Amino acid sequence: MAQRLIVVGGDAAGMAAASQARRRRDRSDLEIVAFERGHFTSYSACGIPYWISGVVPERDQLIARDPATFRADFDIDVRLRHEVTAIDLARREVVARDLDGGGEVREPFDELVYATGAVPKRPDWADPEVRGVFGVQTLDDASALRAWLDAEPAPRRAVVVGGGYIGVEMAEALIQRGLSVTLVEQADQPMATVDPDMAALVADAMRGIGIDIRTGVEVTGLDERAGRVSAVVTADGPLPADVVVLGLGVRPDTALAEAAGLPIGLSGGIRVDRRMRVPGVPGVWAAGDCVETLHRVSGLPVHVPLGTHANKQGRVAGINLGGGYATFPGVIGTAVTKVCELEVGRTGLRERDAAASGFEFVSVRAESTNRAGYYPGARTMTVKLIAERSSGRLLGAQIVGWSEAAKRIDTLAVALWNEMTVDEMTALDLGYAPPYAPVWDPVLIAARKAVDALHQG
Ligand SMILES: Cc1cc2nc3c(=O)[nH]c(=O)nc-3n(C[C@H](O)[C@H](O)[C@H](O)COP(=O)(O)OP(=O)(O)OC[C@H]3O[C@@H](n4cnc5c(N)ncnc54)[C@H](O)[C@@H]3O)c2cc1C
């Protein structure tokens, strides 16, 4: 008799796991049911800012595979608009509510993949009765925002609350749609994922495209008129708004897991081993934004909610529960984003992470250009490197530059992953031609500067 796999959450991690399991085990061996409470499966939340801006014209371009495709090509029974409300490990069954039909179903499982993602932080002042305030966590959220932006009277003034990469990308999207945009951030800098000196370059670029950035400002409430948001109230006074977008970060969605007794780690994510098994709970796997993982540089458990990890972790879980062998070896915190033409990349530890982890380190910043200085389109690029003082090992890197900057972080990520020293990096055989780099690539210039700093120290 076939075993049953139940998947909770039908996006990146959940459906990657389901598809990989199916590739290894056919229906006579494994029946697969995936519950998704929203209207979509396997969509790119990462693409939401670009659909909101209009760069990606159609919402459905963000959907990689819909339920019909999963049914036809993978024999996976996807149940949209079904919210799993309980996991009973003793009886090995889940309870799911049909959000449209109203009924409740109980489904038994032999294997379970928990892939519920993350919950956006929603502040107390975000009164759900006030219309015009949106998160952008799911495609359903984005659809609601898009409908509000497209409706008459068209909103003209937007306030984005939170200056993380999602807030920054959304601010850019709204500027591109022609709204006036204010971004409010409680901390002293936007883009807390990079050091303050690098974040200052990002803030300058944002101001350059017309985004009004207010840092060190706390939002305390909303003003409304006839049930529609009219202003965001801050300690510095009200900011008029016809639409508010929340980008305040996320936490792992572990409510069901906790209720079922699955182990929660120090970072707040579900604990998993390298094969994405939940330790001590046979047949239960977890992957994606709901889990914690190992930071390979600090050695600490961390919660890094990124699609790149969710896809890989889901794949690993699916291969293993399909009878194969795969591991997820942890992360080093590589991420890229952009604000208009300005590109931002980061990997490894920031200065404050390195200090908190007990490293003694040097950090250097090198300015050069993306192409040979004489070649048309040459623009500034700033590379920052953080290296361990005693060994010279690279601990972290950040890049901000006008073009061809973001993906250069991958070179640094590979060096960091392989524990290279900055001295070794100075000899890296990187490609050179005037349209692509100066004769000394910005990465090599920064490595040389780091070596100098180590020798001086
Ligand atoms: C605007 C935005 C931009 C982003 N940009 C990037 C980027 O550029 N690069 C990058 O690497 N990452 C990016 N991310 C992050 C990336 O989208 C997530 O890391 C990724 O989607 C996580 O996949 P997941 O499957 O773990 O969770 P999710 O994609 O959140 O999927 C979880 C699914 O589970 C469903 N669910 C939850 N609970 C239940 C339940 N009880 N019953 C049934 N269904 C349930 C949810 O409806 C959801 O569809 C971005 C995210 C956002 C929001």
Q: What is the pLDDT of residues 343-399, one digit of tens each?
A: 999 999 999 999 999 999 999 999 999 999 999 999 999 999 999 999 999 999 999
Q: Is the pLDDT of residue 73 over 80?
A: yes
- SS3 state at 230: strand
Residue 119 — very low, low, confident or very high, per pLDDT cuts 50/70/90?
very high
- Tokens for 194, please give them: 């990079």
Residue nearest to atom 30 of ligand 1 (CA): 117
Average pLDDT, the chain: 96
Q: State the pLDDT at residue 444.
A: 98
Q: Which atom of ligand 1 is found nearest the CA of 35? A: 43
Residue 151 — very low, low, confident or very high, per pLDDT cuts 50/70/90?
very high
Q: Is the CB of 31 under 6 A from ligand 1?
A: no
46 a catalytic residue: yes
The DSSP output letter for 216 is: S
Q: State the pLDDT at residue 1.
A: 86
Q: Is the pLDDT of residue 238 over 90?
A: yes
Q: State the pLDDT at residue 406.
A: 93
Q: Is the CB of 138 under 6 A from ligand 1?
A: yes
Mean pLDDT of all residues in 301-324 = 98
C-alpha–C-alpha distance, residues 349 and 298, integer Å = 8
What DSSP line would sit under 391-435, residue for residue?
A: T-BEEEEEEEESSS-GGGHHHHHHHHHTT-BHHHHTT------TT
pLDDT tens for 157-168 read 999 999 999 999
Q: Which atom of ligand 1 is found nearest the CA of 120? A: 53
Residue 298 — very low, low, confident or very high, per pLDDT cuts 50/70/90?
very high
Residue nearest to atom 8 of ligand 1 (CA): 46
- SS3 state at 146: helix
High-pLDDT (> 90) share of the chain, %:
97
Residues 6+ apart with CB under 8 A from 153: 242
Range of weakest confidence among 114-118, 250-254, 338-342, 382-386: 338-342
| Nearest residue to 344 (alpha-carbon basis) of 378, 383, 315, 308 | 383
Residue 403 — very low, low, confident or very high, per pLDDT cuts 50/70/90?
confident
Q: State the pLDDT at residue 344.
A: 97
Cα-based torsion angle of the residue sequence 258, 264, 270, 275 in order, rounded to the nearest 10 degrees: -120
Q: State the pLDDT at residue 428.
A: 97
What DSSP line would sit under 46-106, residue for residue?
A: GGHHHHHHTSS--GGGGBS--HHHHHHHH-EEEEETEEEEEEETTTTEEEEEETTT--EEE
Residue 85 — very low, low, confident or very high, per pLDDT cuts 50/70/90?
very high
Query: Ligand 1 centroid vs 80 CA: distance in angstroms?
Result: 15
Q: Which atom of ligand 1 is found nearest the CA of 83? A: 42
- Burial classification of residue 318, based on how many CB atoms lie within 10 Å of its CB (0-12 exposed, 13-18 middle, 19 or more buried): buried
- Confirm whether pTM is higher than 0.85: yes
Q: Is the CB of 35 under 6 A from ligand 1?
A: yes
What DSSP line would sit under 173-184, residue for residue?
A: HHHHTT-EEEEE
Residue nearest to atom 29 of ligand 1 (CA): 11
Q: Is the CB of 172 under 6 A from ligand 1?
A: no
Q: Is the CB of 63 under 6 A from ligand 1?
A: no
Q: Which atom of ligand 1 is found nearest the CA of 256? A: 41
Going by their DSSP bridges, the two strands 30-36 and 76-80 should be labelled as parallel
Query: Ligand 1 centroid vs 341 CA: distance in angstroms?
Result: 26
C-alpha–C-alpha distance, residues 211 and 208, integer Å = 7
Q: Is the pLDDT of residue 177 over 90?
A: yes
How many Cβ atoms sit within 10 Å of the Cβ of residue 62?
19
Q: State the pLDDT at residue 78.
A: 97
Q: Is the CB of 141 under 6 A from ligand 1?
A: no
